[in-house]
Structure 1
């Protein structure tokens, strides 16, 4: 496989530190652009069935909007993706508190999560495949989490039409770790705009986690069978989003963790497939994580323009966030998220694009 990697400026932070954009260029006009602020996927260019290329992820054309508004567009999320009830968890008899930034709960690492940090470029390569490794050291006590956490995130194009996102993390004290990529996708293309409710989703999970009014899981997994949450055979995202179901009402649509069979896997396995009938673009998500948060863009409100000057409104994008289960630090019956010294947190997900 041939590919290129292009490094360019993407502005500077208020304190003068430069922000870079790393463009990973693969075959057939497939390209992923990564910015070092938030280690975010700023653009993802994918051809349709006729060969026309479009950017399929929400984001911004310049740095300033990323700094002004926290929307998680394409960002790396940590130290804990999703929610921790009441912003508190215990390890070895000690209670730790994370700032509550969503009501009483901590969401996506607190007020200053990994999406608000400047990552360092560790390594870039073009051969054998274009890839870039970024790192961030989260100091002991940052946002209330214990331990110095050293994180390495590698973006690569290992095969035509495939973006690999791989996290590794180590700690010097017992802590928790749950990292993810928060891409907002619209396979029609961002410039074209429009809703994703016509996108056809297949989600290979038999169970999901119902939530309370604060989006904290109520209890254990519930079957998707016979509910609007059943995408095993495939359905349009909007097919049942208006159904009179309590969980859809609470989340203003889909914003729920799906429990992937087998829990943590040794290697990425197929978890979801999304097709856009109009363009023919297909995205398959393979992951080794135990959970997949499906979010139907319920709280996109048109505040602030994205790329191409688009105002993104409800259901103009979807998210599929591979991760550990929400509030797992407080649920011993959930897949574990504890990380101890000497162990390595690993998370590999593949976003594989094709056409129909």
Structure 2
């Protein structure tokens, strides 16, 4: 099936079947830009960004995300490559939270914590998907009690490729009070190979959330000033990862922290600027904007060579970098953090856009 939008062609094709025989589709979003063709591929399995191909400064196309060639790779994936994660992105301490006086127990899949909705979270579901102008709409029903979360949740994710960039637009409603935190877990590598060590990263945040060795926030936000975690101006990623700092050691030697987005500078699509990433070698640039209050910067600390990605590439630490726009980790247990509670009658809406360019 092919749908033409305002400059974007959307093609649907088969992408295999899950172990229980459920069909999975791939949706190719193709658009011509001033610098060349941009092609994004989104899967109905896990709402995953399977591929994003963009031109370099010389107009040569190149893959800029980590992924797998086929569905088997995604079925065995343990690193959330390109996945839409939920019901709650990031960590919930001790895999439990209280809401309106009731304690809800969750599956622990990151030590004692629940991470990204647990082992059978939204990343491991087949969403109902259909092409729409400029993109694809994906729908998921999460029943009451799903992975321990209260209330039935209906989620609609629309992924669009337009003149601004690649959009992720979420909408969710619930029939009982629950907590929700949704994001996409794409790993970026603008060079298309090697590591992201020479990438330049800038994040529009003057504070971040210090964490313990479990990745759980210690207290409230702390200033980045005077530390290697200060990304307010472009910094070489390799220099950040190699720096000596207790917070870098706490997460295993790298960055796996939520930054508190300032929200003051305008970004693409009229949304607040979150981050910029650039690869000096290829000239590719990525600008991220979102209405979310945080962004989890993750330098692929746990990629240890056990996963084999697209084209037989072994995925080692630093092979990609995640910029996950979201609410703050462990929010259900922290009344002082921005609330992630969704109540009946309310509608959760959030938007993030990735704008690509060359420089």
Residue equivalent to 2:105: 97
Q: Deviations over 1:106-148 (max 9, x none)?
A: 0000121000000001x4234xxx1110000000001000000
Residue equivalent to 2:9: 4
Indicate conservation of the 8 Å contact 1:267/1:287, yes or no.
Answer: no
Residue equivalent to 1:290: 293
TM (norm. structure 2) is: 0.94
Q: Deviations over 1:276-322 (max 9, x none)?
A: 00000000000000000000111111113111111010111000000
Indicate conservation of the 8 Å contact 2:263/2:273, yes or no.
Answer: no
Residue equivalent to 2:147: 143
Q: Deviations over 1:37-63 (max 9, x none)?
A: 101000001100000001111111100
Deviation at 1:267, TM superposition (A): 6.0
Match of 1:159 among 149, 157, 163: 163
Moved more, 6-15 or 266-275: 266-275
Which secondary structure does the structure 2 equivalent of 1:30 belong to?
strand
Match of 2:340 among 337, 341, 353: 337
Counterparts of 1:67 and 1:93 in 2: how far apart (Å)? 37
Q: How many residues align?
A: 347
Residue equivalent to 1:301: 304
Structure 1 alignment gaps of length 5 or more: none
Which secondary structure does the structure 2 equivalent of 1:225 belong to?
coil
Matches within 5 A, 1:21-60: 21-27=26-32, 28-60=36-68
Counterparts of 1:203 and 1:2 in 2: how far apart (Å)? 31
Indicate conservation of the 8 Å contact 2:263/2:274, yes or no.
Answer: no
Coordinate RMSD, CA, aligned: 1.4
Residue equivalent to 2:132: 125
Counterparts of 1:137 and 1:226 in 2: how far apart (Å)? 45
Counterparts of 1:277 and 1:195 in 2: how far apart (Å)? 13
Residue equivalent to 2:210: 210
Residue equivalent to 2:20: 15
TM (norm. structure 1) is: 0.95
Matches within 5 A, 1:101-250: 101-121=109-129, 123-126=130-133, 130-159=134-163, 162-189=165-192, 193-250=193-250
Counterparts of 1:350 and 1:176 in 2: how far apart (Å)? 23
Residue equivalent to 2:3: none
Indicate conservation of the 8 Å contact 1:267/1:288, yes or no.
Answer: no
Residue equivalent to 1:327: 330
Counterparts of 2:213 and 2:308 in 1: how far apart (Å)? 30
Q: Deviations over 1:60-105 (max 9, x none)?
A: 1100111123220000000000000001111110000111111111
